[in-house]
Amino acid sequence: MRCPKCTSIEDKVIDSRISKEGSTIRRRRECLECSHRYTTTEAVVRDGVVVIKRDGRREEFDREKLNHAVRAACHKRPVDLEQITMLVEDVMDALEAQFESEIPSRAIGEGVMQRLRHVDQVAYVRFASIYKQFRDVAEFVDEVSALGKKSPKDADPAVS
């Protein structure tokens, strides 16, 4: 691993921790040349996963594209990077259990919205406004109204 400060490739691992789901490993490293400490994350590379778009096109799944979309929805919200990473990982684990190597984009969007609703409702509305492609303000208002009408059980995932 290359040091982000001096670009040396000589380092040592100080600490390793497995994520709660066991799908990623966080490593704390120290550069042997400049003593700078930094954190890296290892994740399973999901090869061969294809997304089926709404118009029928197929494209290779891009985790970074999904991370970017969720980060954009959570911009300036009290959602930290680890929550976003865990949300994306949770969505992917659920989708891989349900689908083989081809995943409809609809399923990805629905999975993200379901989880964002419990993490941050403003981020949920931001993501939904792009994903659902609202045609006018009335559709947007309907979505926000529906969010406010959810039962208390729907508002807290720990209750279910």
What does pTM read for this prediction?
0.62
Determine, yes or no, domain membership for 85: yes
Question: Exposed, middle or buried: residue 107 (CB in 10 Å: 0-12, 13-18, 19+)?
Answer: middle
Name the strands in the sheet holding 24-31, side by side, starting at the edge strand that comes first in the sequence.
Answer: 11-18, 24-31, 37-43
Domains held by the chain: number: 2
pLDDT in tens, 73-113: 999 999 988 889 889 888 988 888 898 889 999 999 999 99
Domain limits at 38? 1-44
Determine, yes or no, domain membership for 15: yes
**Cβ-contact 69, 127 below 8 angstroms:** yes
pLDDT in tens, 118-153: 999 899 888 988 877 777 777 778 777 877 776 444
pLDDT at res. 101: 84
Average pLDDT over residues 14-18: 90
Tokens 């976003």, located at residue: 84
